[in-house]
Copies of this chain bind each other. A is one copy, B any other.
Amino acid sequence: MYEGIVQDLIDELGRLPGIGPKSAQRIAFHVLDAEPADVRRLADVLTEVKDKVRFCVVCGNVAEAEKCRICADPRRIETVICVVEESKDVVAIERTREFRGRYHVLGGAISPIEGIGPDELRIKDLMTRLADGTVGEVIIATDPNLEGEATATYLTRLLKPLGLRVTRLASGLPVGGDLEYADEVTLGRAFEGRRSVDD
């Protein structure tokens, strides 16, 4: 409907996740009105990110060098590895400032529906990392959904025989939430995982 290049821009924007045709049109018109320097900066960073960003050879996290910032940091504890699905999860956990160990990014979760089996995930690399016996605990921090649970179960079976401590993030009531609004699965987990108050 638009003059060639404007329609091209709307089409390209519409290919991005979560951007429908209306949003694409809105963003395209924003771009038309924006300062050329601002648009140039977005275009440059898009190109640059593809040239520069790679995945850490150790843990699979996004990195600008061979190793990501966490794997390159000698202050991080080497004996604990937290296994997550995506780099986004690393960022979420880093935000808590609770964890001082290393990560391992699987690159997804087991999902038969999407055709993702263990071989599509970075599980072999994890086994290689664990081979020298430095690591004493693996914390499984996959998402608390069907795929994440399946992945956690698979990993637990794989890791337990190695004589490692294998832990899973606690499920329960979200802090600040209302008990009455918790779904029954979450509430069930909260009961299951209840702890003595003198713990």
Contacts and interface: CB of A to CB of B under 8 A. Distances in A.
Interface of A: 1-6, 8-9, 12-13, 15-19, 23, 25-32, 34, 36, 38-50, 52-53, 62-64, 68-69, 86-88, 91, 94-95
A150 to B, nearest CB: 22
A47 B39 contact: yes
A5 B62 CA distance: 10
A169 to B, nearest CB: 19
Contacts of A43: 43-44, 46-47
26 contacts: A2-B91, A3-B53, A3-B64, A5-B45, A5-B48, A6-B53, A8-B48, A8-B49, A9-B45, A9-B46, A9-B49, A12-B41, A15-B42, A16-B30, A16-B42, A17-B30, A19-B27, A28-B49, A31-B50, A32-B62, A36-B50, A39-B49, A39-B50, A42-B46, A43-B43, A43-B47
B1 A94 contact: yes
A1 B49 contact: no
A37 to B, nearest CB: 10
A53 B7 CA distance: 11
